[in-house]
Structures are given as C-alpha cells and as structure tokens.
Structure 1
C-alpha cells in the first residue's frame, strides 16, 4: 500500500477514535444525548468556537481542556494529510497507483526493469520503441514524480531487493528482469531472488566490478553487461576499426540512415513459408531486407547462410534492413 494512503488511513482512524472518545466522555460526564455529544466533540476538535450545547460542569470543563490539548496535534496532522491529498495532487497519484497495480496484474510475459537511472531509462526507451510491455521498480519517489506522465510508464515505488515488491511487479508472470541498480550487491541479491521466484525467466544484470560478473552468473543471471568495459572497447575500436563502429552505430539507430536488426523464429513465419529454403523465401527481392545470419539447434549461428538452407522448427532468422524493409518483411512473412 502506498505510504501516502497509509497516512490518510491513519489520520482518518485517529479522527474517528478521537471523536468516539470525546462523544463518550460528554455522554458519561455531562449526560448529553448522543447527537449533542458528537456535536460537542466535533466543534471542540475543530476549535471553531461555537456555543456549547449546555453549560459544562467543572468535570466537563476539565475534560474539554484535556480533549482540546490532545487533539491539537491530531487536528494539525489530519489537516496536513488532507491538504497534501487535495492540493498537492496526492489523491491523483494514489488513484494512479491503484490503477497501475490493477493493470500490472493483467500483464503476462512482460519485462521488469529494476532501477530508473541512466541505464534503466535507455532500456525503457528501447522497450517502448519495440512495443514490449514493461514495468519499472524505482525506490526514489522524486524520480517517479518528475517523470512526464504522458509517457504512461508503469512505475512501482519500492525496493527491488524485497520479495513483496517483485511479487507486486508480477515476477511470476514476467519473461525477463533487468537489474540496473547502481550497486552490484543489490543486483546480485535481486538476481538470486528472481531466480528463486521464477525459474524460467531471463535475467539480465549490470555489473560495475569485474569480480561481480562471476557472482551474478552463479546467482542465476543469463547475461551480465558491464557498461564501463563496453565503453572502453567502443572507444578503442573508434581508432582501430572506425568504419565497423560506424556500421554498428547505424544498427543502434545513430546516424541519418538507421538500420534495423530483427530476429524471427520459425514458429512466427506464416505457414506457407515454414520449412522452406532461403532461396525459396527470396527475402531480398520481396522486401529489400537481407538474412545475414541463421541459428539452428544443431550448428548454432551460421553467418551468411547458404541459399539452400531450410528454415525448420526451432530455427531463427536474423534479418537486416532499414525500417521500411523490416516493416515489409513482417507484412509478407510474419504471422
């Protein structure tokens, strides 16, 4: 439950308890009727200064003094909570969190992104571009509140190392979890927990230190990415292989003419194209795209596959082309 909603429930409970005790006190001490007792409790709590129902006895006055002193703090706390809800947009955020929780329960085979830092933001952008459903777990509420609402990201404000937070994110129904927290120890802990909660899911984790890489694999990660190492290799290759890097940047969407790599499994091909050879598919002439690699369960990856190679069950095609080529490919060949 969101902390803001807990505060509202707590403030409401304090108010009800205070009113109940005040009304009971006036009934016992002054013999007021229930409605008069509730009225006295409310105007005393709110310190509005209305006239008393009846003249109070000495015991009634002492009770009223104590009641006012005790309720000054409760009144201030209640007003602050209500103000945050109605004037600071807290109520809208609570309803949004409730709607998000409801929508998260409907997600299947989604991606969980732990951490919304530099790496996490980039991951989410790429997932959104490919229309892949995802949910973000971020412990810093300020980062979440400052993010533009029109992008409609699913956020959970919580600690991703906790089992209950991962369960709230639907980890048992998720296909992949990406651990991109700043500390390697947290990523190792999330990996261990995620692997225990979902044996079949794919786990991708970031690592800053070389010693953390083996620990993450032992913890159950399928892939470990080290941004600093990749960055260093990239900078060195800009000197030794500048045109290779320029080509790879085109694949990553950097540059004027963006190239796209797409993977298509045998099962996603239309029925009439399954179990056909690459020559029979004639992908290049039909779509302008090119099959640059082929993966089967026996030989693994085959680069520049022979035209007589048949696409059979379990095989995956790696297709290269610009955006228009890939769209045409999907229209022609993919279910």
Structure 2
C-alpha cells in the first residue's frame, strides 16, 4: 500500500535548525498532542500577560493614590505609569517615592516576582517536545505543497524509487516522495526530497496531499501489484490527464493497470531479460 507572534517565529527558527539540510516531511497522521500543546501554551501566555497587565494597572493606580504632592493629576498619572512600567520591565529608572509609596512598591515588586515566576514555570518546556516540532514541520510543508507544481511524484521510496528519484533530480526535476514506511520517509527527507508520510489506511489522503492536479507525472515503483493498481486508480481519478508510469509483471496486470489509468506499464522482468540477452549476443555478433 502507499505508500502570535515572536514566539511562533522563534519556534519556527528552532524547527528550521532541526531539519537543516533537509527539505521537510508532511505527516498525514500528525500527532494531535503537538497542536494541543501549542494551544495550551498560548492560553498560558495570555494568562501571564494578563496578570502582568493587572500588576501594571494596580501599581499605577496605587502610586497615584499615594502621591501626596501638589502636582497636577495628569502628571501624577504619567509618573505612576512610568514607575509601574519600570517595575514590570525591571528597567529600574524610578522617580522619588514618599514613604507610603515605597511600602507599596515593595508589595508591587513582590507581586511582580510572583507573577513572573508563575509565567516562567507555566511556559518553560511546554513547546520543546518532538510532537510540537512535527506540528511546525507540517505547517511549513503545507505552505510548500500549496505552491507545488510541475513536479514528479514517486511512490514508494524503495530501491527502484530511489534510483528514479536520483536520476530525476539530476535532471533538475522537483521530486515529491510518498511512502508509508517511516524509515524510508526519513531517508528520503535526509536526502533532500520533499516527503509525505502516511499509513497503510491513508494512501488516498496522501495522494490528495501530493498535488497530483499540478504534477507532471507519477512513478509507481512498489513491489506489491495490488497496491500499485490501487494507487494508479486513485491517482487517475484525481487527475485523469496525469502521466502514470507503473511496473507490471504480466499481460493481465498490464491490462488492469492500463484500464486503471496507467499511461505506461513497464515490465521489469522483460527489461532485465533483454539486458541479460544483450550481454550474450554482443560477443557472438563480434565473433561472426
């Protein structure tokens, strides 16, 4: 079978560093935990920002109420806001305080430390799991697949598929690999190919993600004749004009594949046999 925000930018950079040297892989069965972790992190981040905002607001209001100077109210409010911002951001550029304000600021500093500690404890480490990295990798691959066109799709990345992919890439063709084997998919990704990984029961979803509507050709290189037939049929349904090259081991299989939509059916056994015979005929022809 077939085979918000600065924080988001930072984690995308981490993902790019993690897969440097590879093009990327899209996993059909993406771990749901990655998306849930990110949603939870964002919820906690909003809560932490909200608490810091309350500390800022409360500090500003308290400093205004405890300011016994004769300064106008707007001046008192600006000074209080300035001191509160310095408190929350730890810049340390404060104005002079009267005794009541100093006591209040001690309480505000303690509150800020508590809120900051809570925020660090809640946010640190939640986005460091592999499931989160997979989530970002899938998001990056989605953008690439959306603009993919005139590419050649190879399914799966077995011995024949690897040879076909290498020769196509040498000719400057964009290659997209489809597979159900995680090790083969990782190997293809490590070699610099774009990859879509699915399981045995999701090959139709994989083919739909492969942008066969904009592809120039599909090479079906698997060894399972029934799987090759299914892939050919689904691919032809998705794009009747797509060139599909697939291997078939006998005349019956060739007929079935052609009816399923294959443009070219290659008999690998016949090719090997011809190559072997040529190795014998050539010397005999020279002797005669």
TM category (shorter chain) comes to: 0.5 to 0.7
Unaligned runs of 5+ in 2: 1-26, 45-124
Aligned partners of 1:90, 1:242: CA distance in 2, in Å?
60
- Label 1:163 to 1:228 Cα distance change in 2 as closer, same or farther (>3 A): same
| Candidates 128, 133, 142, aligned match of 1:86 | 128
| Candidates 35, 39, 54, aligned match of 1:9 | 35
Please name the residue that 2:216 is paired with: 175
Q: Secondary structure at the match of 2:31?
A: helix
Deviation of the 1:200 alpha carbon: 1.3
Are 2:240 and 1:240 aligned? no
CA contact (8 A) 1:179 1:205 kept: yes
Q: Secondary structure at the match of 1:3?
A: coil
Deviation of the 1:198 alpha carbon: 0.9
Aligned partners of 2:174, 2:278: CA distance in 1, in Å?
34
Unaligned runs of 5+ in 1: 20-81, 245-335
CA contact (8 A) 2:35 2:135 kept: no
Q: Secondary structure at the match of 1:163?
A: helix
* Aligned-CA RMSD value: 3.3
- Label 1:112 to 1:90 Cα distance change in 2 as closer, same or farther (>3 A): same
Are 2:144 and 1:103 aligned? yes
CA contact (8 A) 2:220 2:245 kept: yes
Please name the residue that 1:206 is paired with: 247
Deviation of the 1:117 alpha carbon: 0.1
Are 2:227 and 1:186 aligned? yes
- Label 1:243 to 1:92 Cα distance change in 2 as closer, same or farther (>3 A): farther
Aligned partners of 1:243, 1:7: CA distance in 2, in Å?
66
Please name the residue that 2:76 is paired with: none
- Label 1:154 to 1:220 Cα distance change in 2 as closer, same or farther (>3 A): same
Please name the residue that 1:219 is paired with: 260
Q: Secondary structure at the match of 1:177?
A: strand
| Candidates 99, 111, 116, aligned match of 2:157 | 116
1:146-295 map, 5 Å: 146-147=187-188, 149=190, 151-158=191-198, 162-241=203-282
Deviation of the 1:211 alpha carbon: 2.8
1:25-44 map, 5 Å: none
Deviation of the 1:236 alpha carbon: 1.5
Deviation of the 1:207 alpha carbon: 2.0
Aligned partners of 1:211, 1:14: CA distance in 2, in Å?
55
Task: Please report the TM-score for the alignment, with normalisation by the length of structure 1.
Answer: 0.46
Deviations 1:94-151 (A, max 9, x none): 43333222112212221111100011001100110000112110111122224463x3
- Label 1:243 to 1:132 Cα distance change in 2 as closer, same or farther (>3 A): farther
CA contact (8 A) 2:177 2:196 kept: yes
Aligned partners of 2:134, 2:41: CA distance in 1, in Å?
23
CA contact (8 A) 1:115 1:179 kept: yes
Deviations 1:33-58 (A, max 9, x none): xxxxxxxxxxxxxxxxxxxxxxxxxx
Please name the residue that 1:324 is paired with: none
CA contact (8 A) 1:2 1:94 kept: no
Deviations 1:177-236 (A, max 9, x none): 111122111111111112121121111111234431111111111101122221122112
Higher relative contact order (CA closer than 8 Å, sequence separation 6+): 2
Deviations 1:140-180 (A, max 9, x none): 1122224463x321000025873322121101111111111
